[in-house]
Homo-oligomer: A and B are copies of this chain.
Amino acid sequence: MRAKGLRITRERRLLADVLEDATEHLDAETVFRLARRRSPRIHRSTIYRTLNTFKDLDLIDELDLMHVDGNRHYYEIRPPVFHIHLVCTSCGEVQEPEERSWKEWRARIMKETGFSLGTARLEVGGLCADCRRRARRP
C-alpha cells in the first residue's frame, strides 16, 4: 500500500477491521453501518472510495451472490484459494464448499484458451436442504 504512494489512514484501518471481523458477506451499506458505529463521522463516499481502492489492490473480492437481494454488491477479504459461493435463492443462505480440483481445472482452461487466469468467481443458485424440506411440506 505504501509502495504505491497510498496513505494508511484511520478510515482505511477501520474499514479493513470491519471486513476482517465480518462473519458473512457485507454490502457497501452494511459496511457503512458497521463503520459508523465505531466512527460516527465517517461518510458513505469514503466507504465506496475505500472499497474501490481495496479492490484495485486485490485485497478484497466483489461478489453479487446471484442477485438474490437485488443489485447489491458484496465484499470479502480476498481468500487465499479459489472458492465457491453457493447461494440459496429462497432464504439467501450462502455456503462455501471447498473446491479441490481447482488447480487442474485452471491449468486445463489456460491451455485451452490462452488466457492467464486471475480472479475467479463461481456462484451457484439452488435450494439449501432446509428450503427443500419446506418446499415439500408447505
List the interface of chain A (C-beta within 8 A of B).
62, 64, 66-67, 71, 73, 84, 86, 88-89, 95, 97, 101, 105, 109, 112-129, 132
Residues of B within 8 A of A121 (CB): 66, 122-125
| Integer count of this chain's copies in the complex | 2
CA distance A129 to B116 in the complex (A): 8
B109 touches A124 (CB 8 A): yes
The answer to whether B120 and A127 have CB atoms under 8 Å apart is no
Asked whether, in the complex, the Cβ of B119 is within 8 Å of the Cβ of A125, the reply is yes
Q: What distance in Å separates the Cβ of A128 from its nearest Cβ neighbour in chain B?
A: 6
The verdict on A125 contacting B114 (CB below 8 Å), with A64-B64, A86-B109, A109-B97 known, is no
CA of A115 to CA of B124, assembled, Å: 10
Say whether A129 contacts B117, CB under 8 Å. Answer: no
Q: A128's contact among B112, B114, B123, by CB below 8 Å, is which? A: B114
- Shortest distance in angstroms between A62's beta carbon and chain B's nearest beta carbon? 6
Instruction: Please name all residues of chain B whose beta carbon is closer than 8 Å to the beta carbon of A97 when the two chains form the complex.
Output: 109, 112-113
Distance between A90 CB and nearest chain B CB, rounded to angstroms: 10
Q: In the bound complex, how far is the Cα of B102 from the Cα of A109, in angstroms?
A: 14
